[in-house]
A and B are shown apart, each in its own frame.
Chain A
Amino acid sequence: MILKLIFMFFAGYVNIVVEGFFIERFLNICRNKKIFIQDLQRENNTYIKAKILKSDFNEIVHIAKQTKCKVKIHKKSGIPFFINRYRKRKIFAIAVLVIAIFIFTITKFVWNIEVEGNENLSKEEIINIVKEYGINVGKLKSKIDTQKISNEIRLNREDLSWIGINIKGTNVIITVEESTKIPEIIDKNEICDIIASKDAVISKIIVQNGTAKVKEGDKVKKGDVLVEGVMEGEHTGIRQVHADADVFGSIYCEKEKKEEFVQNVTVKTGNEQKKNEICINNFKINLNKGVSKFKNYDTIVTNQKIKFFSNFYFPIEIKTTKYIELTNEPKKYSEDELKSKIETELEAELEKEYEVSKYDEKNKNRNVDIQVENDGLKVKLSYELKEEIGIKRNLN
Chain B
Amino acid sequence: MKNYDKVSKFLEIPREVVSNIPKITITGFDEILIENFKGILEYEDFFTRISTSLGNININGFNLKLNQMTDDDIIVTGKIENIDFENKN
Report which A residues bind B (CB closer than 8 A).
Answer: 4, 23-24, 27-28, 30-32, 34, 36-42, 45, 48
* Segment of B10-18, B20-28, B64-72 in the binding face: B64-72
Taking CB atoms, residues of chain B closer than 8 Å to A30 are: 69
Which residue of the partner chain A has the closest CB to B39?
A28
Q: Give A42 to B70 CA distance when docked, in angstroms.
A: 18
Q: Is B41 an interface residue (CB 8 A)?
A: yes
Sample 9 A-B pairs with CB under 8 A, ordered by A number.
Answer: A24-B41, A24-B42, A27-B40, A36-B69, A39-B67, A41-B45, A41-B66, A42-B64, A48-B43
Complex contacts, B42 vs chain A, CB 8 Å: 24
Consensus secondary structure, chain B interface: strand
A37 touches B69 (CB 8 A): yes
**CB proximity of A55 to chain B, nearest CB, Å:** 15
Chain B residues 61 to 81 lying within 8 A of chain A, measured CB to CB, are 64-71
- The answer to whether the Cβ of B30 comes within 8 Å of any Cβ in the partner chain is no
Closest chain A residue to B67 by CB distance? A39
Q: Is the CB of A23 within 8 A of B43?
A: yes
Interface band, chain B: 10 to 19
Given the interface pairs A31-B71, A42-B45, the reply to whether A37 lies near B66 with Cβ below 8 Å is yes
**Are A36 and B70 touching (Cβ within 8 A)?**
yes
A23 CA to B42 CA, complexed, in Å: 9
> Chain B residues with Cβ under 8 A from A32's Cβ?
71
Whether B5 is near chain A, meaning CB under 8 Å from some CB there, is: no
Given A31-B71, A34-B71, A40:B65 Cβ within 8 A: yes
Bound: A36/B69 CA distance, A: 6
Give the distance to chain B from A47, nearest Cβ to Cβ, in Å: 11
Q: Establish whether residues B70 and A40, one from each chain, have CB atoms under 8 Å apart when the complex forms.
A: no
Q: A23-B43, A24-B41, A28-B40 are in contact. Are A41 and B65 (CB under 8 A)?
A: yes
Contacts of A23 in B (CB 8 A): 43
